[in-house]
Amino acid sequence: MRYALDVQYRGKNYAGSQIQFQGGKQIEAPTIQGELERAISTLIKNDESHDNIRPIKTIFSGRTDRGVNALGQVVHFDCDKNIVASDFIYHVNEILPEDISVSDLRIVDKSFHAQKSAKFRYYKYELINRRYKQAFDGDIPRIKYPLNIERMQEGLNYLLGEHDFSSFKSSGTLNPSKVCFISRAEVERQGDRVFIHITGNRFLYNMVRTIVGTLLEIEGHNLPVEHMKDVLKACDRRKAGQTMSPLGLTLMKVEY
């Protein structure tokens, strides 16, 4: 049977969501996938009367980088055992580290693929917009100069629709396709917090973080909002702003 999980995690202590390999060998670095597979395999094995249980292999809806959080990551795995969702969720969460949790488990059709079946992914980037730090700011990036939400929204509007987003990708992008479709790009302020919401069918490596960095470059240097359109059309990473910290970024939801 094929099962789908909804997974939440804080990425600060992990080298990204995916187990990593170099030269055909697995890199010994903590990852969300590694912890999840270890926990599920331990749980399934302990619930059986014999040791001949293959380790569980998981497929994520998409890769998140080192430090990136998730509230709505979707993962699938195959297992012949009939799993009771309520028992599984309780016990697997007891095994997992405190900064990783499973919120739901369901049986899905064998044709379901967490990555390939996904239609849209929704990311949120959070900023603190305040001159002075506060003790409970945590890891959220803080911008000291005032941000003009209306101008930022105008800049984001240029990203809507289907475009080549080469200007916003980092060099580590392996997929040759650079075209993405963005259905939502919005910014909102709640007190001294600024949230940037971006939904798309796919995202390039560091794309959201670089979009945010470009927005902040426009604001910080008082550039015309049309600068975002110029950067987009240039298809040149050197034209965009810095890649912002991953600690402000959260994968919120995956739509199928």
Active site residues: 65
CA distances 174 to 70, 92, 100, 154, Å, are: 22, 33, 27, 31
Q: What is the dihedral of CA 78, 13, 62, 186, to 10 degrees?
A: 140
CB atoms within 10 A of CB 117: 16
